[in-house]
Chains A and B, each alone.
Chain A
């Protein structure tokens, strides 16, 4: 059985991504760049209203407009439109302008209905119903121990309300695909997706054909963050339009406004929290009532209590529906919200007790917090991991020298503060994935799987593993992914891609090597057991004997092709991590500048240190944006999103980003666990750590994210008001 090499040559080193050259030269063809001959442009007509019924729709004038080749109505007469951005129809035309003109010529008569687009609107007793059955679905509280009783006995209790807004994914490449139908029997689609197989399945379903007759291609793509798993209604309609237009390819990509409105978001979260502890800082109870909105889709629940050991807790969550685009998974779904609320309350408690924030965290880790080890049945206690990570992080941020208790950060107008937060995630592998490895007589090596690289480095990692086994360079391997017809590959989500794909890749390469040895051993007048591969050479009994290429020629006409399957023991699940933030807050303007972030992360055996680090940096900037800038703003009166752009929907630019220090917590024990994903965990704690640093700097909790001048000044004003 395959095992990770004890003394790897490539694994754990820094290898630049294989698609980097194409990307850095502008030659990489993203799905939105692909233009097969005869491509028509599809433009979506979407609802301008937050809640309406289509009384009638007339496309006659639009059909006759120049260049228009086809129109598909998605929301016909009587169809309910539940949010601004809900799809109504798609026009395919020769040029984008013609399609846009035609969209405006479609006559829709709406019955505009009352809406609620904010949580407070929706929670009002007299609010119009988003769905039958009420806008607020309150789940029964999950109770552990005796929280009320324990809280009464607590030496110290803090009570606070914390809230985080809805944010959207803002993938730089929008959602969409170009579809080409061959009659009703076959479809080819170039899709910007995190899951070629899911898109293929959806398109096959809509044509009632086998997924094998659908080819979905994603050579490279421009970000998904959890929002790009399906073909979506616009993708399925593109295929339908292609069929309608005699097989001409139809390209439908959303514009930036639609991206914000219809292509997913992270739900909001508000939590009213009571947290109690004994004098020595040991938590005794938490009572939390929370709510959030996932728009028309739900899914706003999040983990709370989070990370820390609470013997007594009560948590009740209410799902609030509003007339706004539905939530989708967004990088570590639920965790950033739970982390921010938990860590804020814990920090407020530490401040009240006059305790060091790092100390109170260590004190409240569970004695035993087991996660899976390398093999089934093996476990690892995460608590000492957290302790070691906190120690390292504190050192790197300069905690001992710089930390001052909350509100004691000098007399100047600009105050410095430090904050910390912990997080956790799963991120294990799926057992049904496969990779094929082919060694050709010309010496070329190709691996194939129907997974995709969404910018994470999956392509490079698979090449590294194969090259490791075959004694080649990663660039010698054709790492062929992003094609739904290849052996089943993992969707890129939940930090599961690398742990799902690495084991079958290792297996495929190992099997191919064995087959290769068996095949060439006779030609080298030796036994397969005497052969090994290193530095592009075939070694016999430890002596370099023949170049890889020459040896491959001995294969004759037949390539070797092996398909590897997932095997247990090569990947694991369950990580922790911590982040520290140092901020400067201008107390006169409320402007927060993050000066430094330290991110410590474990994730088992790391294949490519370079792309691993990039993932952590990326997670941190996502969390920093959540902490400082991002917020979907809905207008209560007109029901529309007021900032569906990249301007007033604020995103950090280069000057808003601090020094970021990334460290892997990668002990031998961690390496022995095998591969674990890293996409999600490093984005969880950043917004929490920043908010804690702000509170530490200015001496008062800013209870509402993002840490904007408005929210910071409001918090400062309320502090003065109370004083």
Chain B
């Protein structure tokens, strides 16, 4: 039963194939098989959001997705946000606005925020807070995170 299954998928725009056990989570495969350690394991049961990645364009908790489920899917991780060495405006605004401290929650926030702005370029403060409900931060008080998302939205609008 612990035989390995072959999975073909796309990660950050590149075709990727891997072998995994059916019981391995997408998070584990990203971190252990593909060495993409940007997504973090905070709670391992879908509550803290540190493992958030985009699956076919929407954010999900990769710790409660089986890796075998992503056959044929497109995955984006925090490592794919920056483009040719240029930070995505969300990353820049998090950095400049001190919206991160210990930083373990940050990749999850960045991916969730990007998903929000992709869908809703001009979110209200309520929209931002509502959409970040799955991402827990123990350090920042969220205030600067919300402001960073607002700043990124403004910057993206002027492009």
Contact = CB atoms under 8 A, between A and B. Distances in A.
Interface string A19-42: 111011111111011010000000
A614 B148 CA distance: 13
Contact of A621 (B128, B133, B140): B140
A657 B104 contact: no
Interface stretch (A218-226, A405-413, A483-491, A556-564): A218-226
A17 B45 CA distance: 30
Interface string A236-258: 00000000000000000001100
A174 B137 CA distance: 14
A26 B107 contact: yes
Nearest to B48: A646
B35 interface: yes
B78 A96 contact: no
B141 interface: yes
Interface string A49-85: 0000000000000000010000000000000000000
Contact of B142 (A19, A170, A621, A645): A621
A654 B146 contact: yes
A617 B43 contact: no
A654 B129 contact: yes
B146 A455 contact: no
Interface string B135-149: 111111111111000
Contact of B105 (A19, A27, A29, A172): A172
Interface string B70-106: 0000000111011000010001101110101111111
Contacts of A614: 98, 101, 139-140, 144
Contacts of B136: 172, 646, 651, 653
Given A256-B44, A455-B103, A645-B45, A611 B135 contact: no
B102 A223 contact: yes
B90 to A, nearest CB: 9
A365 to B, nearest CB: 28
Contacts, number: 177
B56 interface: no
Of A66, A611, A653, the most chain B CB neighbours within 10 A belong to A653
B138 A657 contact: no
A26 B133 contact: no
A645 B137 CA distance: 15
Nearest to B111: A26
Nearest to B130: A655
Q: Is the interface of B mostly helix, strand, loop or mixed?
A: loop
Nearest to B132: A654
Contact of B37 (A29, A174, A659): A29
Contacts of B141: 617-618, 620-621, 657, 660
A220 B103 contact: yes
Interface string A242-276: 00000000000001100000000000000000000
B24 interface: yes
A646 B47 contact: yes
A95 B96 CA distance: 39
Contact of A25 (B43, B47, B91, B132): B91
Nearest to B96: A16
Contact of B40 (A14, A20, A172, A225): A172
Contacts of B45: 256, 645-647
A480 interface: no
Contact of B87 (A24, A256, A457): A24
B98 A26 contact: no
A290 to B, nearest CB: 28
Contacts of B130: 655
Name which of B28, B104, B105, B128 has the most chain A CB atoms within 10 A of its CB: B104
A173 interface: yes
Contacts of B144: 614, 617
Contacts of A220: 102-103
A32 B38 CA distance: 11
B144 to A, nearest CB: 7
Contacts of B77: 26
A654 B135 CA distance: 8
Contacts of B128: 654
Most buried by A among B23, B79, B95, B101: B101
A46 to B, nearest CB: 16
A25 B94 CA distance: 10
Nearest to B101: A455
Given A223-B139, A646-B43, A654-B146, A618 B21 contact: no
A289 interface: no
What 9 A-B pairs have minimum CB-CB distances, sorted nearest first? A26-B38, A455-B102, A617-B141, A222-B104, A23-B103, A26-B78, A33-B37, A455-B101, A621-B141
Interface of A: 14, 16-17, 19-21, 23-30, 32-33, 35, 66, 95-97, 170-174, 220-223, 225, 255-256, 454-457, 610-611, 613-615, 617-618, 620-622, 645-647, 651-655, 657, 659-660
Interface of B: 2, 21, 23-24, 28, 31-32, 35-45, 47-48, 50, 77-79, 81-82, 87, 91-92, 94-96, 98, 100-107, 110, 126, 128-130, 132-146
Given A172-B40, A613-B98, A655-B130, 16 more contacts: A23-B95, A24-B94, A26-B77, A32-B41, A223-B102, A614-B98, A614-B140, A614-B144, A617-B140, A618-B101, A618-B139, A646-B136, A653-B136, A654-B133, A654-B135, A660-B141
13 contacts: A24-B94, A26-B37, A26-B110, A32-B41, A172-B137, A222-B103, A225-B138, A456-B101, A611-B98, A611-B101, A618-B141, A621-B137, A654-B129
